[in-house]
Amino acid sequence: MSLYSRDKAIIALSDGTVEHGFAIGKKGTTGGELCFNTSMVGYQEIFTDPSYYGQLMMMTYPHIGNYGTMTRDDEARKVMIAGLIVRSFSWEHSNPQADGNLQEYLERNEVVGISGIDTRKLVRHIRSKGVMNAVISSTELDEDKLVKKAKNWDDMVGLELATEVTRKEPETVHSDGPFKVAAFDYGIKQSIIDNLVKRGCTMRVFPAKGDFKEELDQWNPDGFFFSNGPGDPNATAKYALDVVKYAKETGKPIFGICLGHQLMALSEGIQTTKMYVGHRGANHPVKNLDTGLVEITTQNHGFAVDEEALDESKVEVTHKNLNDGTIEGLRFKNFPGMSVQYHPEASPGPHDSRYLFDQFLDMIKEGKGQPA
């Protein structure tokens, strides 16, 4: 697509809502669960976050693309969102450090998008009616056909998507420190790996699915990490709980983020539930119940641990969301484990919660008989 294209495009929601705009990115048709992110910056990190795989991303900040794209900002090997919706799209950029403009980036990654949409109106609609599927098209402009396609799109409930974004083979990321962490990649962000490596952890990162017991026995890690990722945690749990059980039986420290947090809860018989809208953005207030302090956090999830399913003999709630009271963190009583629903590595977002990586390292040090 040439720069400054004014080709028409349509977004159609499964409830029959239709909005008209202009095509950005690749010409074509795409669909998925429609979600929105309230971050003002960091669009490239958002687009490459594997937890967004299969979802249409609507940015609430109106002006997107003004600082272009940089390879170093990618959180994964490719763009993960299924499509993009923005209010005002910047065809040019004014950042001398950029590799190129956002249009070229979207085309290269084959992302279909639409601009010129009243995103505030559409966000209010989603918040009122609840999350739903949608379709974007710049090649099919028949409204009825697009609404029908949106209605028939696969629902996120029951979808197993971690195996769509995970690496194919185990990979070691070395550090100068003395600690070894086995990480399971359900859609791990590069920033998470960087935060642990920076703290002296050599990471052995395993694919989401497979029998790695023999290799884990031989490598003998000092701790385990379960990553973020897309899809329904109950679908991922059908195979992932085997390795969570293995990790628990070793008695080594365990840390889980996002999907990893949900899997750890499921391993203790605590259920998860689909949220009405979900949390996505870099400005969500979370209260640390241990310290009483409030953290401004980066979040990206459409499922959450069900508070009504909590078993106080197995877990203690450590963090709660101040907007809606949902559970944001757990400490496990039957094994040395901690987990949070949000993203302490941020990227994009504030760094209020990066102390959680330090707490995990303290647990590892204690497990090795070293002072925390």
Model confidence pLDDT, tens digit, residues 216-231: 999 999 999 999 999 9
pLDDT in tens, 143-201: 999 999 999 999 999 999 999 999 999 999 999 999 999 999 999 999 999 999 999 99
Q: Which residues contact 13 (CB under 8 A, 6 or more apart)?
A: 34, 125, 132, 133, 134, 147, 150
pLDDT at site 324: 96
The CATH class given to the 8-151 domain equals alpha beta
- Cis upstream peptide for 348 (omega within 30°): yes
Indicate whether 66 pLDDT > 90: yes
Among the listed residues 319, 283, 313, the one whose alpha carbon sits nearest the alpha carbon of residue 298: 283
**CATH architecture of residue range(s) 162-367:** 3-Layer(aba) Sandwich (3.40)
Chain region(s) in the chain for CATH 3.40.50.880: 162-367
pLDDT > 70 fraction of the chain, expressed in percent and rounded: 98
pLDDT at site 3: 59
pLDDT at site 361: 97
pLDDT at site 371: 73
pLDDT at site 372: 63
Q: Which residues are catalytic?
A: 258, 343, 345
Residue found under tokens 């639409």? 114
- Give the pLDDT band of residue 41 (cuts 50, 70, 90): very high
- Give the pLDDT band of residue 22 (cuts 50, 70, 90): very high
Indicate whether 237 pLDDT > 80: yes
pTM of structure: 0.95
N-term to C-term CA, the chain: 55
Among the listed residues 168, 187, 201, 206, the one whose alpha carbon sits nearest the alpha carbon of residue 75: 187
Chain region(s) in the chain for CATH 3.50.30.20: 8-151
At 260 the three-state DSSP class reads helix
Indicate whether 1 pLDDT > 80: no
At 256 the three-state DSSP class reads strand
Indicate whether 142 pLDDT > 90: yes
Indicate whether 2 pLDDT > 60: no
pLDDT at site 370: 79
